[in-house]
Amino acid sequence: MILANLFAMAWLAPTAHACVALVTTDGGAVATSDAQQVILETTSTGTAVEYANSYTGTADDFGWIIVVPAPFESMADGDLERFSRLTDRSQPRIEVMSYGSSGDDAGGCGCGGAAQSKSAAGAAPGAFGDSGLNDVSVVAEGFTGTYDYTVVESDDPDGLVTWLEANDWVLGANEAALTEYVNEGGFSFVLVELSTEAPLASGESGLLPPVRIESGSSELMFPARMARDAAPEFQSTRIFVLGDEKAELTGAWSSVTLDWIDAGGDDPDAAFEDALWEATGDSATYAQVFSGRTDDGWLTRFETRADRDVHTADVIVALSGGRSPSEVVVQSWSRSTAPVSGAYGAGLVVLLLPLLSFMRARRD
């Protein structure tokens, strides 16, 4: 038996407010996100981050606020295929064990944040307010081919909020987290204007084309605080870290390594997802699910399903200096359709775990 390895677009559209704020101005329609994928990597001049987000809601025009360490260097369209490639390389393996159909029982074996956007009639690129107003500096503007963007910096929280509102950006619950970043200093705020061809129907999920932002900072950082006041209760986040060596989390967020999951006769997908919830659902924790060499560099993959209330600090990543490979193996038992000599089959089949849907509801 061979399980197909399908790249589910619903999975590639994780909805996460951890770095973004999605809110609209069109008559109360909303756009929210509770999961996302992130690529963090070092560059020759600093670091880069790439985001692939999905969203749900009935809004057809909204915005995206992304917090990055200063100084901002550039923004471009991201590469969706790259997310697919890294996912394929780091997926858990399934070991399918067969046992006879004689009725014998099988023995055990090892074990952000929502930010409101400009309205459709909002300012066009280059038409933002005076960069000297309210101590707000416009440090860059441009067009990626998909998105219009403006990058601002400020050391005055009230001034920044006033400036954003004057340019049709409404922060809502995200104002508190944004204020923290401004007070701490050292951050740039990338304002991305989004517009969909048609609003989603209720319950539908849409995919935002990925973006890539490069910074002159050497810090590999994921701004998790932007998820703290997000509408969805739980945030599903997948972080790929690329570098010359293995990555580890430092600071307030901890990590645990998943390496072996005994699914028994249960669905391997569900067993993996349940293991993630068990390891990360109630604390500021990521599960490390892969570490190994790829064509893009040494890859470390982290995942969480953390409650928004634990997003009180950002995720800081460091390259550890080691290159110890690891992966998740999910062992599943399947009854053979033909008689098998002895209690168990002699062989096992190594399969790639199909991609999971990030829209799966949490099990109580």
Has residue 361 been placed in a domain?
A: no
Has residue 14 been placed in a domain?
A: yes
Contact 246, 323 (CB under 8 A): yes
Question: Exposed e or buried b for every residue in 146-162, given b needs 16+ CB within 10 A?
Answer: ebbbbbbbbeebeebbb
Q: H or E segment at 101?
A: none
The CA distance from 42 to 296, in Å, is: 11
- Which of 300, 268, 271, 244 minimizes the C-alpha distance to 89? 300
Has residue 340 been placed in a domain?
A: yes
Has residue 358 been placed in a domain?
A: no
Has residue 240 been placed in a domain?
A: yes
Has residue 30 been placed in a domain?
A: yes
* SS3 state of residue 46: coil
The pLDDT score that the predictor gives to residue 236 is 86
- Which of 311, 305, 307, 296 minimizes the C-alpha distance to 256? 305
Instruction: Tell me how far apart the terminal alpha carbons of the chain are, to the nearest angstrom.
Output: 32
Has residue 238 been placed in a domain?
A: yes
Has residue 363 been placed in a domain?
A: no
Q: How many structural domains compose the chain?
A: 1
Can you spell out the DSSP letters for 232-249?
SSB-EEEEEEEESS-EEE
The CA distance from 308 to 298, in Å, is: 30
The CA distance from 358 to 338, in Å, is: 36
Domain residues for the domain of 218 are: 9-352
Give the torsion sign (CA, 336, 339, 342, 347): negative
The CA distance from 126 to 138, in Å, is: 10
Peptide bond into 268 cis (omega under 30): no
How wide is the angle at C-alpha 310 spanned by C-alphas 205 and 274, nearest 5°?
Answer: 60
Q: Residue 256 pairs with which residues in a beta bridge? A: 287
The CA distance from 39 to 86, in Å, is: 9
Q: What is the pLDDT along the chain (364 residues), one digit of tens a residue?
A: 322 222 232 232 223 333 444 433 343 333 344 468 999 999 999 999 999 877 665 555 667 889 999 999 999 999 999 999 999 999 999 888 866 544 444 332 222 333 333 333 333 434 454 444 558 999 999 999 888 899 999 999 999 999 998 988 878 788 899 999 999 999 999 998 875 554 545 555 667 789 999 999 999 999 999 888 765 777 789 999 999 999 999 989 999 999 999 998 888 899 999 999 999 998 999 999 999 999 999 999 999 999 889 999 999 999 987 999 999 999 988 765 443 333 222 222 333 333 332 333 333 4
